[in-house]
Chains A and B, each alone.
With several copies, the nearest count.
Chain A
Amino acid sequence: MINVRVQAAAFDAGAEATALAAGRTDIGAIVSFTGLVRGDDGLTALTLEHYPAMTERQIAAIAEQASARWPLLAGTIIHRHGRLLAGDPIVLVAIASAHRAAAFEAAAFLMDWLKTRAPFWKRGDDGEWVAAKSGDDDAAARWNA
């Protein structure tokens, strides 16, 4: 029920979120998270490497977990790979539910998971690999309580 796509192409975050509720009247809340490439410290572009066989499988598994944990009605997860410029959208998590709490929590849960468990690696155009942040592990750990 949650669509998962891993792609090099850009996506239209607004259209993806809006499409979740098209033609139905049981959805009361859509929470959409879009992650963008920040141009920190002069970064102008980065390249996202990933592990294709693992990526879609792992994202689908976590989407199942979210669906079991919250009463979700629809969702779309898109993660891009390849070369991206500062300001480009990189990840989308859009979740629809009858009520807002489930949609907010599931979207935050999925993003925390993607940050710590989805097999993607960012390299700046300077050739330096982006370091993982311990804060991301802490954020993900809160869902194990």
Chain B
Amino acid sequence: MQLLYFAWVRERIGRGEEQRDVPVNVVTVASLLDWLATLSPGHAAALADRGAIRVAIDQEFAWMEASIDGAHEVAIFPPVTGG
């Protein structure tokens, strides 16, 4: 799975993207975040405040309960501040 990170999520993880083989028991956005948080202290710091995390699956916003089955690209970022 292609993972993309933006803004301070990217800064805390220390990279903008990475390719990861996600364990088969990781099936929702929420469980993906739980699993990613175990990968490094940077991942843990970036994902500590779940209320400040937004996720898009294949360029569409996704809820925490959404399935990641079949997802090619999952992006993780803070609430947007454009406009």
Contacts and interface: CB of A to CB of B under 8 A. Distances in A.
Q: Is the interface of B mostly helix, strand, loop or mixed?
A: mixed
Interface residues of B, number: 18
A57 B6 CA distance: 17
B59 interface: yes
A119 B6 contact: yes
A111 B60 CA distance: 19
B46 to A, nearest CB: 12
B19 interface: no
Given A51-B4, A119-B77, A120-B81, 19 more contacts: A48-B82, A51-B56, A51-B77, A53-B73, A54-B59, A54-B60, A58-B59, A79-B83, A91-B83, A114-B82, A116-B80, A119-B6, A119-B80, A120-B83, A121-B78, A121-B81, A121-B82, A131-B79, A132-B80
Interface of B: 4, 6-8, 10, 56, 59-61, 73, 75, 77-83
